[in-house]
Amino acid sequence: MYRLSLLLLFLSGLLRPIHAQKAPARKIGELHIPMTAEKWSYAPGQVEFITSKEKETTVMKIIKGPKSIVLKDVTFSNGTIEYDVELTGPGFPGINFRMDADQRNGENFYLRSFGKVTTDVRTTLQYAPIVNGMSMWDLTDEYQTGATMYESGWNHVKLVVSGRQMKAYVNDMSKPALIVPELESPKMSGGISLSGSVNYANFVIKPDVTESINPEAGYNLVAHDTRYLRNWLVSEPVVFPFGKEPVVGVQSTYGKAGPAELPDSTARWSPIKAESRNIVNVSRRYAHKDGEVRLLAWLKTSIQSNKAQERLLNLGFSDEVWVFVNGQLLYADKNYFGTPQQKFPSGRCTIENTTIKLPLKEGKNEILIGLANYFYGWGIVARLDDTVGIQVMK
């Protein structure tokens, strides 16, 4: 018995230092960010810091926008971000993360606060990348959904970010409200900021706590669909004042066709490819001018057909298009958000916007699209109904 006790004492002495060495390696440091003036950068009069008896902590009360409140001295790459938000009026309260120093590129997650919502209202929350200083919310219709959200009282938000993927939880921590399989900002690391005329509290960052989410982009359901037109050429954009339309060369009363003012041999073209969701995102190539300046660019591609045939083209666009086939105007339309001209769904650029009958001749067919935009994301998405007897530009 005496020898057994000595053996147990000896083994416990060996185990204690091993345990003591491993414990710090398993520990992940949590950053509890105080809602105090010295931790955040903001404009004078934009923020108040108050003590909440209900939350038993200091609360950031954003009085007015539109600029975001920037967290000082913190760079975020991967991990978990949690916070509480109290909705105090209509707006789009949200968080930007992985933002570059000039706040022009990063990721954005936000809620829509416009009164009582139910879980089946799919516009309750949304993820959108920020590219060249512009939110791509109207090019990311897939990344919005419903959730349980309280019009009064506090809502708890948790974002889990790992490489190119994100899970977003709102109030219900048992399952994510939204899963983003591929974050689309060019930034993989950067700053954090908050926005919206709301109250924020209990802001916590858990670096590298990622719920074992694969950092690689998730499976893309449309990556192998050969019907999409993915390869285009794009012209340099020009300022295109409101009220101006391209001269399209329509037939006159007397049987004479006026000349169309389409890109000629002097036009400068560069290749542009559709991104993972098959959006041709012109915003990523050409940044918008300051203010609501209407710009026009031209996109073109080609389709080789083994016979004369008619195909259906599903087209999404933001904001205006003029579609030509072999130099002839086929379709012109507008997709202005918040107007009677907006396309389903709600003025966003999706493959559901419109369907066009595409007359193809035997041989090579040129598809030319004039694309005008002034409002947020700028791009198209195009898909044929079938590709039997057809070759699209590679």
Give the model's pLDDT for residue 258: 66
CB 132 within 8 A of CB 105: yes
Nearest to 318 by CA among 279, 240, 373, 243: 373
CA dist., res. 334 & res. 319, Å (int): 6
What per-residue confidence (pLDDT) applies to 44?
A: 92
The pLDDT value given to residue 28: 56
The per-residue b/e assignment along 215-225, b for 16 or more CB within 10 angstroms, e otherwise, is eebeeeeeeee
CATH of 231-249+266-392, one of 2.60.120.10, 2.40.37.10, 2.10.70.10, 2.60.120.260: 2.60.120.260
Identity of the residue numbered 255: G
| Residue 279 pLDDT | 97
Amino acid at 215: P
- State residue 261's pLDDT score: 79
Thinking of the domain 31-207, which architecture would CATH place it in? Sandwich (2.60)
Per-residue pLDDT tens, the chain, 394 aa: give them: 444 343 333 334 433 333 333 333 334 589 999 999 999 999 999 999 998 877 788 999 999 876 899 999 999 999 999 999 999 888 899 999 999 999 999 999 999 988 888 888 899 999 999 999 999 999 999 999 999 999 989 999 999 999 999 999 999 999 999 999 999 999 999 999 999 999 999 999 999 999 999 999 999 999 999 999 999 999 999 999 999 988 877 666 666 666 677 898 899 999 999 999 999 999 999 987 767 799 999 999 999 999 999 999 999 999 999 999 999 999 999 999 999 999 999 999 999 999 999 999 999 999 999 999 999 999 999 999 999 999 999 8
| pLDDT at res. 25 | 39
Domains 31-207 and 231-249+266-392 share a fold: yes
Q: Give the whole-angstrom CA distance, residue 230 versus residue 392.
A: 9
pLDDT at 323: 97
CA nearest to 119, candidates 190, 58, 195, 170: 170
Domain layout of the chain by residue ranges: 31-207, 231-249+266-392
Helix (H), strand (E), coil (C) string for the chain? CHHHHHHHHHHHHHHHHHHHHHHHHHCCCCEEECCCHHHEECCCCCEEEEEECCCCEEEEEECCCCCCEEECCCCECCEEEEEEEECCCCECCEEEEEECCCCCCEEEEEECECCCCCCCCCCCEEEEEEECCEECHHHCHHHEECCCCCCCCEEEEEEEEECCEEEEEECCCCCCCEEECCCCCCCCCEEEEEECCCEEEEEEEEECCCCCCCCCCCCCCCCCCCCECCEEEEECCEECCCCCCCCCCCECCCCCECCCCCCCCCCCEEEEECCCCCCEEHHHHCCCCCCCCCEEEEEEEEEEECCCEEEEEEEEEECEEEEEECCEEEEEEECCCCCCCCCCCCCCCCCCCEEEEEEECCEEEEEEEEEEECCCCCEEEEEECCCCCEEECC
